């Protein structure tokens, strides 16, 4: 993006973009706002598909604003999408990988061309501030390109193996990675672009055909990705886009025997259910699960406290605490506890809350009524059990009245055995603890079912100790840009350990694409 200025948007660089970035965003936002309330179909086998029942996509910052009308896909729609993908598999899987790479690169270019419109939709649909929203879209284009690059770097994953020493014969052995078939991508609301598009590109470039189902809170963003794939010229049926309820349409997709593999990104509970349901089949099918987090930051007595304070508040409250990588727990060594907590409270109180499309706003609303209620219940529980240092309340005055706005919340004095130290709240609430040593902090940090991201502030030697001992897939030390958030493809491949992820290999990383393929050995013998 913005190649003319030399600026590259990532989650680490996004805090101070050039001025033209704002102008483009505002122009695109005006165009998008002039086109609200339209009906959008599903795309099955290259055709628009409308169903009897519809649902509304509303803006969480202003629930009176209907963004679009979407299809409540049925079980039949799920079956039809799978059938269309199955039919397209033969040709697509036999298309030379270089041609698939070229098409996915073309789709990435279309994402770049449409980035401001897509960013405006993400901002309206998710409630993301404008830089976060544009980041989600830019990340998607980079994930597309990373998948293409990975295919090229590995020469299509075709490897000559050794030749058996057979007198009188010439043996050639070749290892090839081949696609599985119909691949299902089910994505969450919080990064609707990158977490639909990233797995979709990986599945497609490796030769699988695709059915994608976005979260019901964010169907529009995923539709725009589908349009980039369509406009890039992918053949009919190679990608299919369906919308509708997780427990109805989503469940029907999971239960279908013609689905060869799945990438699910979302909550632990739904992910584990999918894992179990998906296992009820004639053989084991690949299941890529990217699940929740309960991401800790540990702060040593030797830390730069200004870096720690800014990094922690950014990661705690960016996207209203609704990142899987959000920093939701902080363990601080006693000698610096009071000083750091004071800085954290000051920074938190300065964060501007409001309409997320506004350039000065850092925090938008939470995603829906259910999250809004969760926040209130957690705040009440934490008020009883600990000390709310700042926040703890929903915001209802003036412009806040029409959306799901809540105050970013810091909590101290919560007993270390309290359940909310281990539960992913997924709202802007972070709990702070005073610890006597780094060893105590590490023991607490690892004592959860999750292991997604983690952050540390201290000396370089302590940082090495942190990397060795922390149980998490993405770890950062001394990062003011974000204690636990802000991974970018090619720089920080993203994935979780333990209850945070199934494969132990990170998305946007060197080991990712092979997850979408199965190995076949070709042995050919010729008589000499």
Whose Cβ is closer to ligand NAP: residue 314's or residue 343's? 314
102: helix, strand or coil:
helix
φ/ψ bin of 127: left (φ > 0), alpha (ψ from -120 to 50), beta (otherwise):
left
111 binds ligand NAP (CB under 6 A): no
Angle at 315 between CA 429 and CA 7, to 5 degrees: 150
Spatial distance between the Cα atoms of 472 and 432, rounded to a whole number of angstroms: 19
Decide: 365 and 125 in contact? Cβ < 8 Å: no
Spatial distance between the Cα atoms of 365 and 355, rounded to a whole number of angstroms: 8
**Whole-Å CA distances, 6 to 3, 9, 18, 22:** 5, 10, 10, 16
| Segment interacting with ligand NAP, rule: CB under 6 A, options 5-13, 227-235, 247-255, 402-410 | 247-255
Whose Cβ is closer to ligand NAP: residue 208's or residue 216's? 216
266 binds ligand NAP (CB under 6 A): yes
Of the candidate residues 89, 180, 191, 400, the single one contacting ligand NAP (CB under 6 A): 191
Of the candidate residues 9, 138, 193, 195, the single one contacting ligand NAP (CB under 6 A): 195
Whose Cβ is closer to ligand NAP: residue 287's or residue 478's? 287
Of the candidate residues 197, 293, 408, 508, the single one contacting ligand NAP (CB under 6 A): 293
250 binds ligand NAP (CB under 6 A): yes
496 binds ligand NAP (CB under 6 A): yes
82: helix, strand or coil:
helix
225 binds ligand NAP (CB under 6 A): no
Q: Please, which of residues 316-335 interact with ligand NAP by CB under 6 A?
A: 324
Of the candidate residues 32, 67, 291, 513, the single one contacting ligand NAP (CB under 6 A): 291
Catalytic residue among 193, 228, 324, 327: 324
Spatial distance between the Cα atoms of 242 and 103, rounded to a whole number of angstroms: 21
| Segment interacting with ligand NAP, rule: CB under 6 A, options 67-75, 211-219, 436-444, 464-472 | 211-219
Helical H segments across 206-247, by residue range: 219-232
- DSSP per-residue codes, 304-363: -HHHHHHHHHHHHHGGGG-STT-EEEEEEEHHHHHHHHHHHHHHHHH--BS-TTSTT-SB
Whose Cβ is closer to ligand NAP: residue 216's or residue 478's? 216
Catalytic residue list contains 399: no
Closest CA to 214 of 241, 253, 238: 241
245 binds ligand NAP (CB under 6 A): yes
Catalytic residue among 139, 290, 424, 462: 290
- DSSP per-residue codes, 486-513: ---TTTS-B--EETTBSSSS-BTSTTSG
| Segment interacting with ligand NAP, rule: CB under 6 A, options 128-136, 158-166, 183-191, 520-528 | 183-191
Q: How many CB atoms lie within 10 A of CB 179?
A: 24
Q: How many CB atoms lie within 10 A of CB 464?
A: 11
292 binds ligand NAP (CB under 6 A): yes
Spatial distance between the Cα atoms of 171 and 525, rounded to a whole number of angstroms: 5
Decide: 276 and 247 in contact? Cβ < 8 Å: no
426 binds ligand NAP (CB under 6 A): yes
Q: Does an H or E element contain 126, and which?
A: helix 115-126
265 binds ligand NAP (CB under 6 A): yes
Residue with tokens 């363990």: 331
246 binds ligand NAP (CB under 6 A): yes
Closest distance to ligand NAP from the beta carbon of 492 (Å): 12
424 binds ligand NAP (CB under 6 A): yes
Whose Cβ is closer to ligand NAP: residue 119's or residue 496's? 496
Closest distance to ligand NAP from the beta carbon of 321 (Å): 11
**Whole-Å CA distances, 487 to 135, 266, 343, 479, 498:** 11, 17, 25, 12, 19
Q: Does an H or E element contain 205, and which?
A: helix 194-205
**Non-local CB neighbours of 114 within 8 Å, separated by 6+ positions:** 224, 228
Spatial distance between the Cα atoms of 11 and 104, rounded to a whole number of angstroms: 23
Whose Cβ is closer to ligand NAP: residue 268's or residue 467's? 268
Closest distance to ligand NAP from the beta carbon of 333 (Å): 28
Of the candidate residues 150, 190, 348, 430, the single one contacting ligand NAP (CB under 6 A): 190
Spatial distance between the Cα atoms of 314 and 153, rounded to a whole number of angstroms: 35
Catalytic residue list contains 132: no
267 binds ligand NAP (CB under 6 A): yes
Q: How is residue 523 written in tokens?
A: 């042995």
| Segment interacting with ligand NAP, rule: CB under 6 A, options 17-25, 131-139, 261-269, 415-423 | 261-269
Residue with tokens 């770890």: 475
311 binds ligand NAP (CB under 6 A): no
Closest distance to ligand NAP from the beta carbon of 503 (Å): 11
| Segment interacting with ligand NAP, rule: CB under 6 A, options 149-157, 187-195, 224-232, 345-353 | 187-195
Decide: 391 and 428 in contact? Cβ < 8 Å: yes
Closest distance to ligand NAP from the beta carbon of 273 (Å): 6
Closest distance to ligand NAP from the beta carbon of 20 (Å): 30
Closest distance to ligand NAP from the beta carbon of 276 (Å): 11
Whose Cβ is closer to ligand NAP: residue 112's or residue 290's? 290
Residues with catalytic function: 290, 324
Residues in the site for ligand NAP, rule: CB under 6 A?
Answer: 186-191, 195, 213-217, 245-247, 250-251, 254, 265-267, 270, 273-274, 290-293, 324, 424, 426, 452, 494, 496, 500-501
């Amino acid at each position: 993006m913005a190649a003319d200025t030399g600026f590259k948007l990532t989650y680490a660089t996004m805090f101070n973009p050039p001025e033209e970035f704002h102008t483009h965003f505002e122009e695109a936002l005006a165009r998008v706002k002039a086109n609200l309330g339209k009906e959008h179909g599903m795309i099955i086998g290259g055709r628009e598909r409308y169903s009897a029942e519809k649902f509304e996509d509303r803006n969480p910052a202003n629930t009176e604003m209907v963004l679009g009308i979407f299809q409540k896909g049925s079980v039949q729609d799920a079956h039809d999408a799978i059938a269309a993908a199955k039919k397209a598999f033969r040709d697509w899987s036999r298309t030379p990988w270089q041609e698939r790479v070229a098409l996915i690169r073309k789709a990435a270019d279309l994402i770049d061309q449409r980035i401001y419109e897509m960013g405006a939709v993400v901002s309206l649909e998710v409630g993301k501030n404008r830089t976060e929203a544009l980041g989600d879209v830019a990340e998607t284009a980079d994930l597309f390109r990373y998948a293409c690059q990975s295919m090229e770097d590995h020469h299509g994953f075709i490897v000559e193996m050794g030749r058996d020493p057979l007198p009188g014969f010439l043996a050639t052995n070749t290892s090839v990675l081949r696609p599985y078939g119909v691949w299902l991508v089910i994505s969450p609301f919080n990064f609707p672009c990158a977490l639909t598009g990233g797995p979709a590109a990986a599945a497609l470039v490796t030769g699988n055909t695709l059915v994608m189902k976005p979260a019901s809170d964010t169907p529009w963003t995923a539709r725009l990705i589908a349009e980039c794939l369509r406009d890039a010229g992918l053949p009919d049926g190679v990608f299919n886009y369906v919308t509708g309820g997780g427990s109805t349409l989503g469940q029907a997709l999971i239960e279908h025997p013609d689905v060869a593999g799945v990438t699910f990104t979302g909550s632990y509970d739904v992910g584990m259910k999918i894992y179990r349901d998906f296992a009820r089949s004639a053989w084991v099918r690949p299941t890529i699960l990217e699940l929740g987090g309960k991401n800790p930051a540990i702060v040593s007595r030797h830390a730069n406290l200004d870096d720690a304070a800014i990094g922690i508040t950014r990661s705690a409250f960016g996207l209203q605490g609704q990142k899987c990588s959000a920093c939701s727990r902080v363990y601080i060594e006693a000698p610096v506890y009071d000083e750091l907590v004071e800085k954290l409270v000051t920074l938190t109180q300065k964060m501007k809350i409001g309409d997320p499309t506004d350039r000065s706003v850092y925090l938008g609303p939470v995603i829906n009524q259910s999250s809004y209620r969760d926040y209130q219940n957690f705040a009440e529980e934490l008020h009883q059990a600990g000390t709310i240092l700042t926040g703890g309340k929903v915001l209802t005055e003036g412009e806040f009245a029409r959306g799901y706005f809540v105050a970013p919340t810091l909590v101290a004095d919560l007993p270390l055995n309290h359940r909310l130290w281990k539960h992913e709240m997924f709202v802007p609430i972070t709990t702070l603890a005073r610890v006597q040593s780094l060893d105590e902090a590490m023991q607490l940090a690892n004592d959860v079912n999750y292991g997604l991201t983690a952050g540390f502030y201290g000396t370089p030697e302590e940082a090495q100790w942190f990397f060795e001992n922390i149980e998490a897939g993405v770890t950062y030390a001394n990062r003011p840009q974000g204690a636990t958030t802000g991974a970018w493809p090619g720089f920080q491949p993203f994935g979780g350990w333990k209850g945070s992820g199934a494969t132990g290999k990170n998305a946007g990383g060197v080991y990712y694409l092979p997850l979408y393929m199965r190995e076949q050995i070709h042995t050919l013998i010729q008589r000499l």
